[in-house]
Structure 1
């Protein structure tokens, strides 16, 4: 693993001042880059550590913000902000492209080699970037299998990997089937992994994560999902030096 540097980056989006986390490997050369989206509660140390872990593997990584620097630990407050957001593709794209612009402007990031990986709401944002035709090498989404507006998935220009828990009541079989049908009809190179016995947000450690029905950490599958994300990046966005 390589030595890394990190810094906080503020930037405007969705009428807020967002506070993201940038992690860079040592050196001064351009690196393949990964945008990381948090689940609906907002950016936390979980996503910051994921950015750091990717930087240690040689990527320029930017974990973006959803709520103007806030972490919405109150489930009702989180739902009050996220449900309208998830129903508004243009707002999701605004948030996603604002973060993507930060990463593209970073001198260490290669603007032609970027992937977007998100969790929950952040995964939905990553998918909307694809549906908007963003130049991405790969899209990964965990628990964020939100279907888009008719026909727009045809704009996705890269492979899509998705992961979901089999017992996730927020992403039930009907939602998974709708997502699969959308990707298939659009001719997308897609994969869907269903993790047996896992609930919603199974990837997220219980630290600072409120107890909500249908939500729960699954350590084995969390590790497997992370390996699957790394496999997606190794295939579509390899680090060559």
Structure 2
């Protein structure tokens, strides 16, 4: 196994963006590709690490950028502003993440007929929006995501959906999680929601330690959710 990474600079609605591709250079032939959608801080080493972890599992990981090249938050105020900007026009958000799916399919290492997307926090919302857009993607996985639907009608969802969520998450409450399940049912999706007890938002982020705001890393939920994702991808592609 020889894991390699390379930056990918690309155009998408709103400007120029920069993500990171990870793949096993020792593998031969095209393999499934998986988008990694970032949290509200923007694409960083956490997302690149997840892309590398996916490459170690035999996939091609693409840590995408939805803010724009060089636009990354350094504190919560900047993150709130960038996330608010992205979320203010859900049609643009969906167009940007669909553009990354198009790029993923065009990579020489990727089997264009086998694609998925995972996302963390804000990124969970973004991969759900990818599914809501009717994109031809096999599956999406939301880790402690945000569930508010776009202010326009969604298309039927052909992607399988896995939601991995903390029961104590203040950014997406149990009632909102139930509402998401109803939305996914109405859209015809094949969906699963796994709830982790005594678990808050950002449970996969080792540095998260702000219980007053509901942000808290949880090693058990982190491990369990990653295994659930692995099982989900195995089911998609065997």
TM-score by length of 1: 0.90
Q: Contact 1:16 / 1:67 at 8 angstroms: preserved in 2?
A: no
Separation in 2, partners of 1:178, 1:14: 30
**SS at structure 2 position matched to 1:112:** strand
In the TM superposition, 1:1-241 aligns within 5 A as 2-25=1-24, 26-68=26-68, 69-149=70-150, 151-152=153-154, 154-206=155-207, 211=210, 213-238=213-238
Shift of 1:70: 3.5
Separation in 2, partners of 1:14, 1:196: 39
Separation in 2, partners of 1:29, 1:98: 24
Q: Contact 1:36 / 1:63 at 8 angstroms: preserved in 2?
A: yes
Q: Contact 1:138 / 1:237 at 8 angstroms: preserved in 2?
A: no
**SS at structure 2 position matched to 1:71:** coil
Bigger shift: residues 136-145 or 211-220: 211-220
Separation in 2, partners of 1:147, 1:100: 22
**SS at structure 2 position matched to 1:140:** strand
Question: Tell me, which stretches of 5 or more residues in structure 1 are unaligned?
Answer: none
Q: Deviations over 1:86-117 (max 9, x none)?
A: 24221211220221122111011111100111
Shift of 1:20: 0.6
Shift of 1:3: 2.0
Q: Greater RCO between the two (CA within 8 Å, min separation 6)?
A: 1
Bigger shift: residues 155-164 or 13-22: 13-22
Q: Contact 2:209 / 2:217 at 8 angstroms: preserved in 1?
A: no
Shift of 1:182: 0.3
Q: Contact 1:165 / 1:200 at 8 angstroms: preserved in 2?
A: yes
Separation in 2, partners of 1:219, 1:50: 16
Question: Tell me, which stretches of 5 or more residues in structure 2 are unaligned?
Answer: none
Shift of 1:17: 2.3
Separation in 2, partners of 1:110, 1:164: 29
Shift of 1:24: 1.2
**SS at structure 2 position matched to 1:155:** coil
Separation in 2, partners of 1:84, 1:174: 26
